[in-house]
Every structure is written in structure tokens, then in C-alpha cells.
A = this chain, B = another copy of it.
Amino acid sequence: MTTTDARSANERRARGPYAKSAERRVAILDAATEVFAERGWRAASLRQIAEAAGISLSTLQHHFPSKVDLLHATMTHRDEHRFERDPGALPSFPQIVVGQAVANEGVPRLIQLYSVLTAESATAEHPARPYFAQRFANLRGEYAAEFEALGGAGALREGVEPATAAALLIGLWDGVQLQWLHDPNAIEPAEALVAFLGLVIDDEALLPSAAQRARWRREGVVSA
């Protein structure tokens, strides 16, 4: 993955050329991901995160002065570690979406972090509220444009509005991820997305085949 290099460089740049400090920051962010995902941001305690990272509370607070700072850093860290699509390897929008969902299956902690914070931040005065509002708005715009393009190519089912399809896709994705967290045997998010996209898209060749999905799960989504 190219994200590893990008992240390290970013970490070093943000903290200056002190490799040790950068490593510690990453250890803290991993611990914060764990605890925020388990308990939400409000109920998480800095002591618990410090313990999980193997450092003292004060050391944690030296790197991240406040609990809000730590939340922002954790969300940014998550975004940097998401699956980076290789446009050459995954030609169609449905394949990119399902590929992302398959990749997500390998990082359940990040999914849990995202789901828990999405819901928790749907409340007043939550520090992550602007982040998610922006994220939803961006996604709706991006996906609507993709569906629009599919419609222009004649691949969209008759009567389907691109903007509506975008909102449905986002909602469905979040919802099935949540169900999957409650009971991993009940539903597979990637398969649910395939089923939905099959309802919306006319050209079956644009969807990843069952064999393709199985290969992604075996070998990783993006081949080298």
C-alpha cells in the first residue's frame, strides 16, 4: 500500500524530524481508535487510552493537549489509512464501491469507529459533527456525479434519479455496516451493496462478479 509511506511522511512532517515521537503518536492514535470505537468519544477516557498505548496520561496529553484534539487526529488518521483506489485496476464505479467494502472487512475496528462516531455526532455540540456533515455532503455529491455518468452511458435503470441513488447507497452502506457490527453472521456489507447496485444498474458487466469478490478477499483488493 502506498498509504504507509504517505502517512509516515505526513507524521514526520507534522511533528518535525523526530522519528520516535512520530512512532509514539501512531501508537497513541491506534489506542485511541480502539477505545473510541469501543465506547464512543464522550465515554472514552484519556486514562484508558494512555494505558492501552503503554504510556502515562501526562505523556498522552503532551502529544495531544485536549480530548478534542485527539478525536480530530484520530479521524484524520483513519482517513489516511483508508483503501486507496487504483483507478487503473478498478474501472467502474460499482467496482470501486464494492472493493472499498471488501477492504473494510479487514479493518473492523475502523468500521466500528466510524459507525459509533457517526451516530454519536448526530447530537448537539459534538466535536465531530461538522466533520461528518461535510463528509456526508461530499459523498452525496461524488456518488450523484458517478450515477449521473452511468446514466449518460445508458447503464442506469429507467426512472432512477442519480441524487436519490447516491443518498440510498450511502444510507444503505452505513446501515448494513451497523448491522454487521451487531451480528457479523447476519449480513455481509459488500454483498449487500452488490445486491443494491444490481437493482439500480442495468449493465451487469459493470458489477464485480462473485469470482472477482472472492479473489479480492483472498488476495487483497488492489493487485500490485
Contact = CB atoms under 8 A, between A and B. Distances in A.
Interface of A: 37-40, 42-43, 112, 115-116, 118-124, 129, 132-133, 136-137, 140, 157, 159-161, 164, 167-168, 170-176, 178-179, 181-183, 186-187, 192, 195-196, 198-200
A176 B167 contact: yes
Contacts of A187: 167, 171
A160 to B, nearest CB: 8
Q: How many copies does the complex hold?
A: 2
Contacts of A192: 164, 167-168, 171
Contact of A175 (B123, B164, B173, B183): B173
Nearest to A191: B164
A137 B198 CA distance: 25
A171 B179 contact: yes
A186 B42 contact: no
Nearest to A135: B182
Contacts of A116: 119-120, 122-123
Contacts of A137: 183, 186
A195 B199 CA distance: 11
Given A38-B124, A112-B123, 20 more contacts: A37-B123, A39-B123, A42-B43, A115-B119, A118-B119, A119-B119, A133-B182, A136-B182, A136-B183, A160-B199, A161-B195, A164-B192, A164-B195, A168-B172, A171-B192, A172-B175, A174-B178, A174-B179, A175-B175, A199-B200
A178 B43 contact: no
Contact of A38 (B37, B123, B159): B123
A178 B116 CA distance: 11
A164 B129 CA distance: 32
Nearest to A172: B172
19 contacts: A37-B123, A39-B42, A39-B123, A40-B123, A112-B123, A115-B122, A116-B120, A116-B122, A120-B120, A137-B186, A160-B199, A164-B192, A167-B176, A167-B179, A168-B192, A174-B174, A174-B179, A175-B176, A175-B178
A191 to B, nearest CB: 8
